[in-house]
């Protein structure tokens, strides 16, 4: 650089600080004001809960009070499974607390391979790829598969990780009305016949707990020459003969009907991590092209050891599946009988959404349940469809019949006190 060039960009030594033209946080002012107004009414912050102690898959201590957990996604109750915990402890002792590297470099240990082997066996798949989170699995797979000139067609109510995967890539995005086979068909019909197309679906939608008509949607996608991806995060472990998800329950097969299945370890598996399985013959190239896989640290060996053990046990968890479905159907029937407005007409999944009129009613109801000793999730837009406020209940295979009865009583008492039911 010449002296003249350096001088041209120099600032006076005593130059005053320039105030930013616009505070970059000003875009959040409405959200901050909404939160402050809500907390000013005296209710607790539903998004700042701290678990002081977790006693079991269904019980915790919150602010010194024994609390039933009904909002953890611990569907199969694997977090306290003795074999799962033992595997994690053994890996921690043998390999230490972390990998300090990505899967591409030094971050692949014995148990990463074991977890992928377990996934291939569980899904009867040719290929399995483990990510550090389920979010990263969607982010990486979707953004890498569909590129410039391709099209991603997705349900309008898709999870944030799916939308973010679309945003990270360069494909054109087309949305269709939630669970509408007709609208999917119409929008696919408008796309160039020779373009690459990926239809992204979810087996269970996490807010309302409703399921997708995957069989009909996959048939439409195939007719238009599109590949298909199904996110089975909220159905793995208990849907279908082998627990593979809604696609299996509806008679679809990986490779023949579904090209890619995305899942997570943070629900039924009981730990943290994400994955994609596929039978596509070229799938392994994803390890060389997928940025969210390449440029992030791999999971600690203790985590993937717990995942591998849990997945293997879920392959034969028939009794647990039956208990989970029994719990979901019983609580759904109980809450419906009390007069609550629910997200689904029947227990379509292990998620039961109790619909409220507005945020104030939802938070007051949530707090009444928490004070009674029950934790559920309070959900609001943008996580939920526009204008929808709800309490989301997630059943576990380990919920005991007496806990389901206690939960029903708590909902009845709180619902009447708040005016949600008569």
- Residues annotated as catalytic are 206, 234, 267
Alpha-carbon distances, residue 416 vs 38, 59, 104, 339, 422 (angstroms)? 22, 25, 56, 10, 6
Q: Which of 169, 164, 120 is nearest to 138 (CA)?
A: 164
Cα gap 291→112, rounded to integer Å: 18
> Angle, to 10 degrees, between the axis of helix 301-314 and the axis of helix 110-123?
20
On the question of a cis peptide bond just before residue 382, with omega within 30 degrees of 0, the verdict is yes
189: which residues sit within 8 A by CB, 6+ positions away? 224
126: which residues sit within 8 A by CB, 6+ positions away? 120, 255, 278, 279, 280, 281, 283
Length of the chain: 422
222: which residues sit within 8 A by CB, 6+ positions away? 228, 257
The residues with which 200 forms a beta bridge, in sequence order, are 154, 229
Q: How open is the CA angle 212-217-221, to the nearest 5 degrees?
A: 145
């Amino acid at each position: 650089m010449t002296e003249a060039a350096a001088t041209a960009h120099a600032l006076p030594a005593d130059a005053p600080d320039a105030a930013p033209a616009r505070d970059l946080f000003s875009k959040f002012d409405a959200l901050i004001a909404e939160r402050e107004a809500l907390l000013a009414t005296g209710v607790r912050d539903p998004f700042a809960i701290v678990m002081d102690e977790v006693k079991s898959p269904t019980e915790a201590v919150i602010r010194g009070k024994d609390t039933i957990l009904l909002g953890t996604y611990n569907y199969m109750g694997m977090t306290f499974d003795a074999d799962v915990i033992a595997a994690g402890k053994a890996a921690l002792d043998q390999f230490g607390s972390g990998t300090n590297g990505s899967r591409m470099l030094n971050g692949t240990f014995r148990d990463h391979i074991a977890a992928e082997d377990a996934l291939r066996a569980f899904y009867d798949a040719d290929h399995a790829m483990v990510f550090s989170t389920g979010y990263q699995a969607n982010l990486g797979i979707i953004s890498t598969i569909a590129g410039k000139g391709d099209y991603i067609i997705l349900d309008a109510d898709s999870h944030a990780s799916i939308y973010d995967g679309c945003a990270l890539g360069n494909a054109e995005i087309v949305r269709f009305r939630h669970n509408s086979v007709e609208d999917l068909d119409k929008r696919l019909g408008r796309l160039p016949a020779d373009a690459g197309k990926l239809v992204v679906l979810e087996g269970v939608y996490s807010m309302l707990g409703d399921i997708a008509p995957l069989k009909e949607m996959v048939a439409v996608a195939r007719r238009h020459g599109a590949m298909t991806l199904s996110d089975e995060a909220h159905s793995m472990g208990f849907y279908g003969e082998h627990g593979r998800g809604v696609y299996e329950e509806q008679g679809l097969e990986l490779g023949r009907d579904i090209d890619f299945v995305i899942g997570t370890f943070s629900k039924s598996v009981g730990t943290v991590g994400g994955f994609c399985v596929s039978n596509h013959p070229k799938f392994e190239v994803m390890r060389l092209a997928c940025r969210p896989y390449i440029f992030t640290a791999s999971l600690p060996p203790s985590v993937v050891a717990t995942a591998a053990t849990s997945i293997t046990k879920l392959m034969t968890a028939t009794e647990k599946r039956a208990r989970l479905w029994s719990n979901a159907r019983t609580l759904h029937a109980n809450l419906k009988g009390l007069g609550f407005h629910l997200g689904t007409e029947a227990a379509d999944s292990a998620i039961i959404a109790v619909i409220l009129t507005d945020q104030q009613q939802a938070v007051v109801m949530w707090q009444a349940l928490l004070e009674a000793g029950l934790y559920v999730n309070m959900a609001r837009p943008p996580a939920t469809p526009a204008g929808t406020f709800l309490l989301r209940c997630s059943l576990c295979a380990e919920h005991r019949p007496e806990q389901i009865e206690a939960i029903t009583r708590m909902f009845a008492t709180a619902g009447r006190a708040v005016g949600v039911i008569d």
